[in-house]
């Protein structure tokens, strides 16, 4: 009996993970809203960590004590493996609308506190019961060593995702993080090099427990081509160690390219493409996907 019970528990966990493939958890997918911050031009030292490029001259401007922003995002892309099912999953087009509002308070010369609330959704074609919507709250306190020097940050994130098809909860989590970022602006070539290393633990309270530790390492550059055109390339490695009984571990490599046009001061349009290779000791979690599409960001800053 003592040997049978652990086996039954492991079998139940395996069945739960297999069932999860029918509804992809957005907090684990490439379009995670936790990483939406990368798609918005926030404070000058963080601007390079977004897929909207931006005027690199803004990186040299000093900001106010309080900065607000409101953003509307819309991405339409084709995902070759939309349901993340091995290497032969079903391709589909997906619409990814999002809206967010945020506040940054620079309360000391090298310190800032920011909070951003957002709502987003994923609407798929040709994939059953995968449509979702979610709410996110990202908070962090940051200490910057100075211009062209690293900055350190920490803070808690919260998110909740729910299926639009069934109404069931997909994931609900508290996810504290710590990290260090670094950016270097090359004035002569108008090139911005950036990197970011982050550790985050996701305390998940959902029917399917996907609590996990994640470590993310990102390297990239933003190149200003003309006054309003930018190119961006990045590489991301992400390691996830799950708390489940089977000891699931994932290693993800992502390579991405973007071409961005700043049409106006508030509106930017971009062409995105990326390739993701996720390797896991759980066969149900291994996948490869190629994604490409068009996106827009309409952002007001105060």
pLDDT recorded at residue 5:
34
pLDDT recorded at residue 245:
62
Region of 142 (left: φ > 0; alpha: ψ -120 to 50; beta: rest) is beta
CA angle 20, 24, 28 (to 5 degrees): 110
pLDDT recorded at residue 244:
79
| Residue range(s) defining the domain that contains residue 196 | 4-301
Which 3 state secondary structure label does DSSP give 103? strand
Q: Which distant-in-sequence residues (6+ apart) come within 8 Å of 280 by Cβ?
A: 248, 249, 250, 251, 286
- Transcribe 225-278 into DSSP letters: -SSSEEEEEEEEEEEEEE-STT--EEEEEEEEEEEEEE-SSSEEEEEEEEEEEE
Q: How many CA atoms lie within 13 A of 259 on its CB side?
A: 6
pLDDT recorded at residue 278:
93
State the DSSP code for 208: S
pLDDT recorded at residue 177:
97
Full-model pTM: 0.82
pLDDT recorded at residue 164:
94
Tokens 């390739």 correspond to 275
| Tally of domains in the chain | 1
Residues in the chain: 302
Terminal-to-terminal C-alpha distance of the chain: 65
> Which one, of 29, 15, 19, lies nearest residue 75 by Cα?
29
Alpha carbon 102 to its chain centroid, in Å, reads 16
CA–CA separation, 302 vs 296, rounded Å? Answer: 20
pLDDT recorded at residue 31:
60
Average pLDDT by stretches of 10, the chain with 302 residues: 36 37 72 46 38 43 78 92 83 93 94 95 90 94 91 96 92 96 89 92 90 94 91 93 86 92 90 92 89 91 89
CA–CA separation, 289 vs 256, rounded Å? Answer: 12
Which helix or strand (DSSP H or E) is residue 18 part of? helix 4-20
Q: Which distant-in-sequence residues (6+ apart) come within 8 Å of 137 by Cβ?
A: 115, 116, 117, 118, 157, 158, 159
- Transcribe 30-64 into DSSP letters: TT-GGGGGGGS--SGGGGGGSTT---GGGGG----
| Cβ neighbour number for residue 148 with a 10 Å cutoff | 11
Written as six digits, the tokens of 105 are 């308070």
Q: Which distant-in-sequence residues (6+ apart) come within 8 Å of 171 by Cβ?
A: 25, 26, 27, 159, 160, 161, 204, 206, 208, 210
CA–CA separation, 177 vs 174, rounded Å? Answer: 10
CA–CA separation, 54 vs 72, rounded Å? Answer: 16
Q: Residue 72 is part of a domain; what is its CATH number?
A: 2.40.160.40
């Amino acid at each position: 009996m003592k040997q049978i019970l652990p086996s039954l528990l492991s079998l139940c966990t395996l069945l739960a993970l297999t069932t999860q493939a029918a509804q992809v958890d957005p907090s684990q997918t490439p379009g995670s809203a936790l990483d939406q911050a990368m798609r918005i031009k926030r404070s000058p030292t963080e601007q390079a960590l977004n897929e909207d490029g931006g005027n690199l001259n803004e990186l040299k401007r000093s900001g106010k004590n309080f900065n607000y922003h409101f953003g509307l995002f819309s991405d339409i892309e084709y995902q070759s493996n939309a349901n993340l099912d091995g290497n032969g999953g079903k391709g589909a087009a997906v619409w990814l609308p999002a809206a967010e509002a945020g506040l940054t308070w620079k309360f000391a010369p090298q310190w800032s506190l920011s909070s951003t609330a957002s709502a987003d959704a994923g609407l798929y074609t040709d994939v059953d019961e995968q449509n979702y919507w979610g709410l996110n709250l990202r908070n962090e306190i940051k200490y910057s060593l100075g211009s062209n020097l690293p900055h350190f940050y920490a803070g808690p994130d919260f998110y909740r995702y729910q299926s639009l098809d069934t109404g069931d909860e997909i994931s609900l989590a508290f996810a504290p993080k710590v990290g260090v970022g670094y950016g270097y602006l090359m004035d002569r070539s108008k090139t911005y090099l950036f990197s970011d290393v982050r550790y985050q633990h996701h305390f998940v309270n959902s029917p399917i427990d996907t609590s996990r530790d994640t470590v993310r390492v990102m390297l990239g550059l933003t190149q200003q081509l003309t006054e309003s055109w930018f190119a961006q390339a990045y590489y991301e490695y992400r390691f996830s160690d799950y708390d489940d009984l089977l000891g699931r571990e994932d290693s993800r490599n992502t390579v991405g390219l973007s071409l961005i046009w700043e049409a106006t001061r508030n509106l930017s349009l971009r062409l995105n493409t990326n390739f993701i290779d996720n390797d896991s000791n759980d066969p149900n979690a291994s996948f490869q996907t190629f994604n490409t599409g068009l996106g827009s960001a309409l952002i007001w800053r105060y």
